[in-house]
């Protein structure tokens, strides 16, 4: 019998193509409810993986009083990277992203 393994990674990866924020860790939620819809999280290869919960999260940035919000965060236990939708994050927190070549 096989078992599934999802590596825990506390980093959030900004994704300019993601339409929603997604996490594999239920502890990232401030509040969540079970998802009973038929939608799935679509991957770049066109396959879909189940969404188990939906909710919100908020975090205080280290060494500041700045609170950031993530609305409609999807719990997708089988993803390996925690994704932050650049568009949704900028809109929800009234910020902008700036990318530089290093």
Cβ atoms of 80 and 41 closer than 8 Å: no
53 is a catalytic site residue: no
Q: Where is 86: in which H helix or E strand?
A: helix 86-93
The whole-number pLDDT of residue 1 equals 42
- CB half-sphere exposure, 65, CA atoms < 13 A: 0
Q: Where is 84: in which H helix or E strand?
A: strand 82-85
pLDDT tens digits along 10-23 = 688 999 999 999 99
Q: Which residues contact 2 (CB under 8 A, 6 or more apart)?
A: none
The residue count for the chain: 102
What is the pTM for the complete model shown? 0.84
For the chain, domain boundaries: 12-93
Residue 6 has pLDDT above 60, yes or no: no
Q: Return d(Cα 99, Cα 102) in angstroms, integer.
A: 9
pLDDT tens digits along 75-96 = 999 999 999 999 999 999 998 8
What average pLDDT does range 54-59 have in this prediction?
94
> Which of the following is catalytic: 15, 18, 20, 22?
15
pLDDT, the chain, mean: 88
Q: Which residues contact 93 (CB under 8 A, 6 or more apart)?
A: 68, 69
């Amino acid at each position: 019998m096989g078992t599934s393994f999802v590596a825990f990674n506390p980093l959030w990866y900004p994704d300019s193509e993601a339409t929603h924020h997604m996490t594999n860790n239920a502890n990232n939620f401030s509040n969540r409810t079970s998802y009973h819809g038929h939608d799935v999280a679509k991957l770049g290869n066109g396959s879909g993986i189940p969404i188990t919960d939906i909710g919100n999260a908020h975090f205080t940035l280290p060494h500041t009083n700045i609170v950031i919000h993530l609305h409609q965060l999807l719990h997708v236990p089988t993803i390996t990277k925690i994704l932050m939708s650049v568009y949704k994050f900028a809109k929800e927190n009234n910020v902008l992203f700036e990318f530089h070549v290093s």
